[in-house]
Amino acid sequence: MTEGPEALPGCHLIALDTVGSTNEEARRLAEAGAADRTVVWAREQTAGRGRHGRSWASPPGNLYVSILLRPACPVAQAPQIGFAVGAAMADAIRALTGLPVALKWPNDLYLGGEKLSGILLESAGDVAGDTEWVVAGIGVNVAFRPDVPGAGCLNAAGAELQPSTLLESFVPRFFELLDVWSNEGFPPVRAAWEACALPLGSPLSVKLPGGTEAGGFAGIDETGNLLLDVAGNTVRVAVGDVFPLSTAATGA
Ligand code: BTN
């Protein structure tokens, strides 16, 4: 165990020096009955996981946090929580550093064409389709730039901050958006996400199961699908890997 951030009201914080993966730890806690809004934060991960089974470089210096939630919603709506995570982190980074970080669907944070942050959302439901738990994990490259093409970090962009400072700013904003989502549904979260997203029209390439599609970013729909403008037609993308085609559009 290690000393945690100064103040995180309204949650149960578990602060660790080292863990395999904060998502794995939060998932284990979920299955053991841990409470809604349990926050698992680690200084380093030895087996950090990314989307699509990729690994996530996790040495000390960056932020690794997973939040266990028990929302009262159908499991099909749980992915909407990822947009609240992304918007809250974009707001926190913008407020602390003034850097124009931008969200790329579904929930990567970019700056100047470089990826700074990613989200891994995992959930479990019951036979009726209700959510049992959601684990929302987010990693932010603060001081360490992973040796991965296209990755960046906040320090290299001129922002000096501690991962714990970012956590202190992110968690309250996330819980605020989560309350809004519980009370009012997805529309205000969608608006908060779009307010921090890449500019409309930003050129994107989308790797789909059947091939690659290129088009202009046209927002997200009422359920969180990506909207892509392909030669004047709006294409909805529910699942796919999305890559920005121009660094100019990603918050220089
Ligand atoms: C991505 O592939 O972009 C998602 C990366 C998610 C990484 C975070 S770090 C904290 C949490 N624990 C993990 O093992 N993964 C997530």
pLDDT digits (tens, 9 = 90+) for 37-68: 999 999 999 999 999 899 999 999 999 999 99
Mean pLDDT of the chain: 93
Local structure of 239: helix, strand or coil: coil
Tokens standing for residue 113: 């064409």
Interhelix angle 186-195/80-97, nearest 10 degrees: 40
Q: Using a 6 Å cutoff on CB, does residue 134 contact ligand 1?
A: no
Banded model confidence at residue 26, pLDDT cuts 50, 70, 90: very high
Residue with tokens 């700074």: 116
Q: Using a 6 Å cutoff on CB, does residue 34 contact ligand 1?
A: no
Q: Over 80: is that where the pLDDT of 250 sits?
A: no
Q: Which of 16, 24, 56 to mutate to test the pocket of ligand 1 (most atoms within 8 A of CB)?
A: 56
Torsion of CA 239, 241, 246, 252, to 10 degrees: 90
Record the pTM: 0.94
Q: Over 50: is that where the pLDDT of 213 sits?
A: yes
Å from CA of 137 to ligand 1 middle: 6
The strands making up 131-140's β-sheet, listed across from edge to edge, are: 12-19, 38-45, 63-69, 131-140, 114-125, 108-111, 102-104
